[in-house]
Structure 1
Amino acid sequence: MNPAAKASTPARMVVGISGASGVIYGVRVLDALKEMGVESHLVISRAALLTLSQETDLTPDDVTQRASVVHKIGDVGATIASGSFRTMGMIIAPCSVRTMSEIATGVTSTLLTRAADVVLKERRPLVLMVRETPLHLGHLRTMTALAEMGAVIAPPLPALYARPESVEQIIDQSVGRALDLFGLDWHAVRRWEGLK
């Protein structure tokens, strides 16, 4: 990539929230981007709104108000559906197996997976915080295919070396480490400082 082109890329990121458990990861991504002054373009699936009601006390408005721009899941004419709309890339947090599988096949049925497909074809970072366990061979093969296409598979796993004192700290550490992959340094990350 031309360094000048990279330098002129706007501080703008696409955020996808799918219906997997862990919707709070996507919410915290939006919070982090807002704190860092990065424009966020949110697309949230219908299943994610159901998960939101089951896992949190947040309303859909509580989530969408955190984003700079909100795109409807069925709006395939949205800016984020085109490669000419420059972004830093896309993070899907959490990423369901269904979403992951659609992206891997290139047969996209919603703006969420279309935007991810665009990010891949434009060779921009795509980070998938996949939430599923245990994984069967089909899941693993799908992840391998996505990694070969350039996606980063980044399941949200607890970094116990950071000595988290709350669930919130565990979540924020995972979110911050995922944002590291875009060159973003969020204050909530506890960095490893070596053995003392």
Structure 2
Amino acid sequence: MREGVTVAWTGASGSPYGLRLVEALLAAGESVHLLISRAARVVLAEETDLALPGNTRALERALTDHFGEQPGNLRVLGPEEWTSPVASGSSAPRRMAICPCSTGTLAAVATGASDNLIERAADVILKEGGRLVLVPREAPLSAIHLENMLTLARLGVTILPASPGFYHRPATIDELVDQVVGRILDHLEVEHELGPRWGYGPEGGSSR
């Protein structure tokens, strides 16, 4: 098993992307440090049927069962669990994805706020020269959003909007979700087979 990946769910719409990303990482043999903002819990309740316990350890057990994983492969961290590995450059994983990423979290990361563990974990990735992928789900984008994205892109952060392609002719929402999650995994350097790649199916761009 590799050193693992830090994943954060924040309050933007797009919970299915975050859930599928964690599922795919675990299926690929990666260990996952999962951070969930308070706003993300609200959005999850609106967009999915998943009931999340309030207690962090109970939440970890519930999600471990949900993903059908062995205990230990998924670690859920509280928003102020400052003694966790992701809070320090000496022990944090070198890869992190914030999916979905709210524009508030985007702004906080761009300014180095580090007011909670999600922001601190992202700050650690930046200062240690790791790989950070942000998956914003917002429309339209204001000049403030775009300036923050530009600031982070210049620091080497991958800005990967949750805007799926259609060249694979998706027939279900799950296929749209997988198309975005597959691209996130590509940028985290995780092998996967979540969907066809451009040019490898019949007619040049589709697997159908």
TM-score (norm 1): 0.90
Matches of 2:153 and 2:199 in 1, distance apart?
29
* Residue 189 of structure 1: how far off its partner (Å): 2.5
- In structure 2, distance between residues paired with 1:40 and 1:75: 16
Deviation at residue 10 of structure 1 after TM alignment: 3.2
| 1:170 to partner: Cα distance | 0.3
1:129-168 mapped onto 2 (5 Å cutoff): 129-168=135-174
d(CA) in 2 for partners of 1:138 and 1:164? Answer: 33
* Matched-pair contact (CA < 8 Å) for 1:90–1:127: yes
Q: TM-score, with normalisation over the residues of structure 2?
A: 0.85
Q: Where do residues 92-103 of structure 1 align in structure 2 (5 Å cutoff)?
A: 92-103=98-109
Q: How far did residue 88 of structure 1 move? A: 3.7
| Structure 1: unaligned runs, 5 residues or longer | 1-8
Which of the residues 7, 17, 20 maps onto 2:9?
17
1:116 alignment partner in structure 2: 122
Tell me the residue number matched to 2:179: 173
The number of equivalent residue pairs is: 188
Residue 26 of structure 1 is matched in structure 2 by 18
1:84 paired with 2:90, answer: yes
Contact 1:73 1:112 in 2 (8 A): yes
- Distance of aligned partners of 1:64 and 1:94 in 2 relative to their CA distance in 1, 3 Å threshold: farther
State whether residues 32 and 75 of structure 2, in contact with CA within 8 Å, keep that contact through their aligned partners in structure 1. yes
Cα shift at 1:64 = 5.9
Aligned equivalents of 2:49 and 2:64: distance in 1?
14
C-alpha distance after superposition, 1:46-80 (max 9, x if no partner): 11001010011012245465461111011122110
**Separation of aligned partners in 2, 1:158 and 1:143:** 19
Matched, 1:44 2:36: yes
Q: Matches of 1:120 and 1:64 in 2, distance apart? A: 29
What is aligned with 1:57? 49
75-84 vs 37-46, which deviates more? Answer: 75-84
Note if contact 1:64-1:70 (Cα within 8 Å) is conserved in structure 2. no
> Please, what is the CA RMSD of the aligned residues?
1.6
CA distance in 2, matches of 1:155, 1:64: 27
The percentage of aligned residue pairs carrying the same residue is 40
Quick check: 2:9–2:40 contact (8 Å CA) kept in 1? yes
